[in-house]
Structure 1
């Protein structure tokens, strides 16, 4: 069984944050990305990134709820810290 969570974060610079997150996470996890989408494979789950007009979409998948909690925290915390000047906020919605 897998558990999923999603967020759509409004920003005028979604491609910038995609690149920044994937580059940062690639130091400890496997990240791949281009200007429109990205993916980071953590030990505790997967985050897929998608650039949309005016937003960065985050899709998380994990094997259990504890891993999903950790994934939401790690990805959300990093994006909010990177986007502090832009006032970015991540609100997760679980399936």
Structure 2
């Protein structure tokens, strides 16, 4: 198992956690109705599973899993995948979406390998 983690410093960690989870939950339910440019490639609708509260969240995709935890002052993200290619795919997915959601005050996502 390949694992990588990021600690994203933000004054509103819960907001970003919930926004990410709602986004992917909606994408999972309505994936076939989205324009192709915004859809996740090669992911059937029933293969995106999302669970969350204001402080914790889990995204399960065919390529791996992303675990989110909001703590005071930061959002902790952990991605897990069977191989390095899919790990990179998950990292890029999270980094891209955090970038979109934080356009006004860009957040920095720096991935670190986890032992």
Pairwise same-fold verdict (TM > 0.5)? yes
Gaps of 5+ in 1: none
Tell me the TM-score normalised to structure 2 length. Answer: 0.79
Tell me the TM-score normalised to structure 1 length. Answer: 0.95
Shift of 1:76: 1.0
Secondary structure at 2:99's aligned position in 1? helix
Task: Report the RMSD for the aligned CA atoms in angstroms.
Answer: 0.8
Gaps of 5+ in 2: 29-47
4+ residue stretches of structure 1 with deviation over 4 A? none
The match for 2:62 among 35, 43, 49 is 43
More strand by share: 1
Secondary structure at 2:11's aligned position in 1? coil
Matched, 1:77 2:96: yes
Single out whichever of 12-21 and 23-32 deviates more from structure 2: 23-32
Secondary structure at 1:41's aligned position in 2? strand
Q: Find the counterpart in structure 2 of residue 15 from structure 1.
A: 14
Give the greater-gyration-radius structure (CA): 2
